[in-house]
Amino acid sequence: MANLSTTYLGLELKNPFIVGSSGLTATYEGIARLAKNGAAAVVLKSIFEEEIQMEFREALKNQLGPQDNNLDFLDYLDYQIKADVLSKTTELIRRVKADFDLKVIASIHCRSVGEWFAYAAKLQEAGADALELNIYRLPSSLEVSAAEIAEGNERIIEKVMKHVRIPVSVKMSAYTTDVAYTAQRYAQLGVKGLVLFNRFYQPDIDLENNRVVGGQVYSNPNDYTWPLRWVSILAPKVALDLAASNGVHTADTAVKMLVAGAAAIQVVSSVYKNGPDYLLDLQHGLDRWMDKKGLQDMVALRAYGRAMMPENPELFERVQFMKYFGEV
């Protein structure tokens, strides 16, 4: 039996498998099932800026009546709703930390500088071991350039970093223009890790019923190649712990990510599809592979990976098909 323990963001993990932010990690009961099956860490369901705003609007509709011109009352209501959303999460962190042997990474989905830093500090106080920032806004504005978006993201990170001591990671969009440069900038700002990559809600059109619908929610087993490419390219270049995410559905895919230099693996879709005990299959699959290769621990695995990966990662940097292979 190999020793699967590893470190991610400076945290000791009993194995490299983290359950990513999702409905799986939204409740105490859900996390209990993951803990029972050996999850080393969970990233809690994100606290969403829009969610708070929506709740605020809903509450306004239901409660205002004669108060609708009273700015102090509006202010109070805003504060109250934020406090409620936050207190649900801080309570969850406290209970999970008290009852289970796993690390808890809180997650904030932030779109603007706003007041997120205050939430971050509260999550830290509640006992979160780390904080994952899910920073993304669809660049659909005709007025906002890539440079302005990048600048805004950096301001968010700077602000959060000033207010927390726990390690901070950023969950990156696969559509980032300058992945390597951005990773380096984040490292310079004090970020400890990068999650490669986020997966977004994908709307679709239902032609039968003439309406826009939610598209496919889960990733596919072959979605892993883009994160694998970037883990391979970034691991030797940046001082960040990389968590591979998106399309890790089998133990073999997890092994590829670790060989390429990932510090940890985040899984969501495969656990939704196969149930929480699939985490045990992933751990056993990794263990079996390490045994087969005679690797006793993750340090040995990493050294094995470094020896296997080409020094000049030209295959991972090649993007165009110069020629088709074979007769296709």
Ligand X SMILES: Cc1cc2nc3c(=O)[nH]c(=O)nc-3n(C[C@H](O)[C@H](O)[C@H](O)COP(=O)(O)O)c2cc1C
Chain residues 66-125 in contact with ligand X, contact rule CB under 6 A: 107, 109
226 near ligand X, rule: CB under 6 A: no
Question: How far, in Å, CA of 28 to CA of 39, rounded?
Answer: 14
Residue 39, helix vs strand vs coil: coil
Binding segment toward ligand X, per CB under 6 A, in 70-78, 158-166, 215-223, 255-263: 215-223
User: Closest approach of Cβ 282 to ligand X, in Å?
Assistant: 11
Nearer of residues 38 and 247 to ligand X, judged by Cβ: 247
| Listed ranges 65-73, 113-121, 186-194, 217-225: which one lies at the site for ligand X (CB under 6 A) | 217-225
Note whether 246 binds ligand X by CB under 6 A: yes
Q: Which residues contact 117 (CB under 8 A, 6 or more apart)?
A: 159, 160, 162, 163, 164
Which residues between 166 and 195 bind ligand X (CB under 6 A)? 171
Site string for ligand X, 33-72 (x = CB under 6 A): ------------xx--------------------------
Minimum CB distance to ligand X, residue 217 (Å): 5
Nearer to ligand X, 77 or 219 (CB): 219
Q: What SS3 class is residue 209?
A: coil
CB atoms within 10 A of CB 240: 21
Q: Helix, strand, coil: what percent of the chain each, to 5?
A: 50, 15, 35
Q: Is the peptide bond before 197 cis (omega within 30 degrees of 0)?
A: yes
Residue 15 CA to residue 5 CA, distance in Å, equals 4
* DSSP string covering 98-163: HH-SSEEEEEEEESSSTTHHHHHHHHHHHT-SEEEEEE------SS--HHHHHHHHHHHHHHHHHH
Q: Rule CB under 6 A: which of 7-36 touch ligand X?
A: 20-23
**Cα distances (angstroms) measured from residue 124 to each of 28, 38, 60, 72, 165:** 18, 24, 30, 29, 8
- x-marked contacts with ligand X along 266-295 as a string, rule CB under 6 A: -xxxx-------------------------
Residues touching ligand X, count (CB under 6 A): 23
How many other CB atoms are there within 10 angstroms of residue 175's CB atom? 12
Residue 141, Cβ density class (10 Å: 0-12 exposed, 13-18 middle, ≥19 buried) = exposed
Stretch that binds ligand X, among 81-89, 147-155, 234-242, 262-270 (CB under 6 A): 262-270
Q: By CB under 6 A, is residue 256 in contact with ligand X?
A: no
> Which H helix or E strand runs over 212?
strand 211-214
Q: CB-wise, 73 or 272, nearer to ligand X? A: 272
State in angstroms the smallest separation of the CB of 325 from ligand X: 27
Instruction: List the one residue from 82, 122, 199, 256 that touches ligand X (CB under 6 A).
Output: 199
**Residue 179 or residue 268: which is nearer to ligand X going by CB?**
268
Q: State in angstroms the smallest separation of the CB of 254 from ligand X.
A: 10
Q: Which two tokens stand for residue 49?
A: 């800026």
Binding site for ligand X (CB under 6 A): 20-23, 45-46, 107, 109, 134, 171, 198-199, 217-219, 245-248, 267-270
